[in-house]
A and B are shown apart, each in its own frame.
Chain A
């Protein structure tokens, strides 16, 4: 991400969330609020420029603001081993000015006029956005098109090196200096074979970040930042005819890029349990149970999400009630299905409450999960999980930016801007108790990663310490000597 949402600033800043009213043209119809299966309709228009740029327009005139989202279908998944962290480092370079836009103007014509801008990088895509008063829409299109077409004209080594230092600071702040901050990269590198691009973290390794050269940046840009690999979504208060003319004016002259070969991701299955223990500068140990599951390309993702709700979404969910409330052996406990484009994992994370141990908690969680696999959830548990869906989907309509991002992701992943409502929402509503029982049995088996993070020198606090392998060096950070910038 270009900029942090710092604790210090968060309270002072006005949230960069722009309103959406599914406005005059946008018929929001809740057909049957009673059974929770509301149909929600927001007209949008889709165009494709001759250079391959896909454009999605959705008007909403309730507030005089616009959100502009540009999504490039490239993420850490497209990196090569030895150059991890590159997609995200590149995201930072995109904010250093472009051929016709000197550094600084991007902020001047967004934040400096009452809007905002940022970017973020995932395993699968990199997205950039501007939120602006509606009279600055042309500026946003000018800014985004110039860095799509003319970024390299303004790139120099000094600028590049400065951003690389900032990214290293981002890694320090979000990973190395965070208690338990390295859990994710330890788990991913254990869960996936080294050749699987989901095995490395988006932020990358310090060594690889130091090795990335300006030439790497140029090659990456030419291949992945072409209009045929991008989706432009605009939501809010704009005039469609004028906006289309601006889009053609600013983006029309950018040449199409070469065809992109996307990595083939094999399904991941762990034959056996991998038990790990990592010492960190923490005072309280923590246990991670992680099973490889599926990504967004599988329908099982929906039942896995509901499974997570059944286990930990509230005080009456199974694991939370049994361990946080009744036995009180856990201080907290949460689970989630993490679905990326082509791969995913199911995670359970447990913080114990002394004198209870990780070993005891692992045993209790396993018994409770085994019971669920045997008997399945109750219909009541399923309906509770779904009861909040309608409110959550509708409240999502209040944000122009959120809407632009969902339109763009749906288009990039599935060729369907409608994906979240037309497909995902309906599929969540259709999940049954039998589906949840089936996915629990299919995915929550013996092949998993069990990671204990323990206070330095307290390996005996790990779950089943004698059966666990010690991780002394994380694969991506450098534990003892952090690589410094200039």
Chain B
């Protein structure tokens, strides 16, 4: 149910201004002899067109790729950095990367935050900074005639942020309130507790920002992170849109002339995750919750695994498509939820496998039984059908054109190749590799990566209503955790 906003509609919409074509009446037809049950025959599969791009380099050493897309007078520029919070945040300063990305727009050595905002608004665009777990980006999306002045602002934000103390304290105040409000939502609680159980707070994948870490961040930390992180040696710049490669290079060389060289790719060495424990239900009490949030899973493989394509096929029909096994059963047949899903997070290190969703309180036990049934089923109890294989492959391959649909999505798709260290013909190769996956491959990786004996089952919901029924399923012992994922009592056996 999406509410209707004219403003939103207008701004995302796209319509025409042209001579109105008068309404014409199509020819009347006789609907005789139409067999409506006959499924239409699909035409020839359209060819996949992956955009091409030119590879250049800036004088400061940053890699530059430019992909021309001339249909609209738009340009998308992103400066991408290899590595992110997982590699550059001290363990006790979780959230620092997020603070830095917010603080970059709080002013430069020559502009206050307000002046920066006014200058960007006048150009009809703004600079976005985001630093994720293993990559970061600073980007602008702009009309092509405003690109050069926007690049001037981009370089100012990138190279000369002033990190004013007053802005840091304001941001900290707001962040602490956000952290407090996150404790109101069962989904936010689960997304902190689940990784903490899998990885513990020792590794970057298990950490989340806390009140303590947000309070510990100082201006010195921001300056140091900025100086260490935003280096051309680990940067890749993607430019997509209505611009020639040589023009892009000229403009960027000029605007980034003052960027000191240096920097290298991080190693992505992480501590080994703790050995998996036998399957346990971790119950977090949220009194009065109308639904229980489920997060069921375990440590999975890194992005570089040779099993990647088999896992993509598996997950497509297991927990990604609407008619996936999980959603078809738990939502469509049983009506326990508005939607359930699963995913593998991948990453440079071993990302998590996670299945779950929001389940109506009174059916928490029944839903858990079904989740476990499907998690066992995918390992062989429920045979994989030809239809599942075909729909998974089609869904993965035929959705590729959507990755090249706008200047922003083309830019993201190209940048990902460099930030994830993928081969440059990755998208072409993707088709071949997905098509090559067999049922045996899927069965093998299901047995390798989904282990019903070693799952963390996080359930955030109303303990007074769900505890008894969950215990009665005898699926696993229950451990009680607080909203931060810390144990509150010793283990209780059902």
Among B6, B74, B341, B361, residue most surrounded by chain A Cβ atoms (within 10 Å): B6
Q: Does A104 sit at the interface, judged by CB under 8 A?
A: yes
A321 to B18, CA, bound (A): 41
Count of chain A to chain B residue pairs whose CB atoms are closer than 8 Å in the complex: 409
From the candidates B15, B178, B186, name the one contacting A417 in the complex (CB within 8 A). B15
Stretch at the interface among B36-44, B53-61, B86-94, B221-229: B36-44
* Interface flags, A277-293, vs B, CB<8A=1, else 0: 00001111000000000
Binds A, one of B253-261, B268-276, B318-326, B420-428: B318-326
Residues of A within 8 A of B45 (CB): 133, 135
Task: Decide if B306 is an interface residue (CB 8 Å cutoff).
Answer: no
Taken residue by residue from 277 to 317, chain B's Cβ proximity to chain A (1 for < 8 Å, 0 otherwise) reads as 00000000001111100010000000000000000000100
Question: A162 vs B409: C-alpha distance in the bound complex, in angstroms?
Answer: 37
**Are A177 and B289 within 8 A (Cβ)?**
yes
| Given A177-B358, A331-B177: A8 touches B341 (CB 8 Å cut-off) | yes
Decide if A284 touches B394 in the complex (CB within 8 Å).
no
Distance in angstroms from A41 CB to nearest chain B CB is 5
Answer whether residue A392 sits at the interface, using C-beta atoms and an 8 A cutoff. yes
Known: A7-B191, A22-B72. A398 touches B406 (CB 8 A): yes
Indicate with 1 or 0, residue by residue over A144-162, a CB within 8 angstroms of chain B CB atoms.
0010001000000000011
A142 to B39, CA, bound (A): 8
Instruction: Tell me the smallest distance from the CB of A337 to a CB of chain B, in Å.
Output: 7
Q: Within 8 Å CB of B267, what residues of A?
A: none
B1's contact among A170, A331, A340, A407, by CB below 8 Å, is which? A170
Residue contact B16 to A12, C-beta cutoff 8 Å: no
Stretch at the interface among B111-119, B155-163, B243-251: B111-119
Complex-state Cα separation, A111 to B387, whole angstroms: 13
- Partner pick for A282 among B2, B123, B184, CB 8 A cutoff: B184
Quick check: B401 and A9 within 8 Å, CB to CB?
no
Closest chain A CB from B464 CB (angstroms): 13
Nearest-Cβ distance from residue B426 to partner chain A, whole angstroms: 15
Assess A107 versus B331: contact at CB under 8 Å? Given A142-B39, A179-B181.
no
What 1/0 flags go to B383-401 for Cβ under 8 Å of A?
0000100110011111111
Q: Given the interface contacts A6-B341, A244-B26, A420-B13, does A19 sit within 8 Å of B404 by beta carbon?
A: yes
A191 within 8 A of B: no
B264 within 8 A of A: no
Residues from chain A with Cβ under 8 Å of B493 in the complex: none
A328 proximal to B (CB < 8 A): yes
Contact of A166 among B74, B290, B338 (CB under 8 A): B338
> How far does the alpha carbon of A150 sit from the alpha carbon of B398 in the complex, in Å?
30
Does A377 lie at the interface of the complex (its beta carbon under 8 Å from any beta carbon of B)?
A: no
Query: Quick check: is B492 within 8 A (CB to CB) of the other chain?
Result: no
List of A residues within 8 angstroms of B354 by Cβ: 8
- Cα distance, A405 to B399, chains bound together (Å): 20
Kindly report which residue of chain B lies nearest to residue A306, judged by CB atoms: B7
Contacts from B to A (Cβ < 8 Å): 1-7, 9-18, 20-29, 31, 34, 36-37, 39-47, 49, 71-74, 113-114, 117-118, 121-125, 141-143, 145, 170, 173-174, 177-178, 180-181, 183-187, 191, 287-291, 295, 315, 320-323, 331-333, 335-345, 354, 356-358, 360-362, 387, 390-391, 394-409
Closest 8 CB pairs of A and B: A114-B398, A253-B31, A19-B405, A64-B46, A165-B335, A406-B13, A112-B391, A135-B43
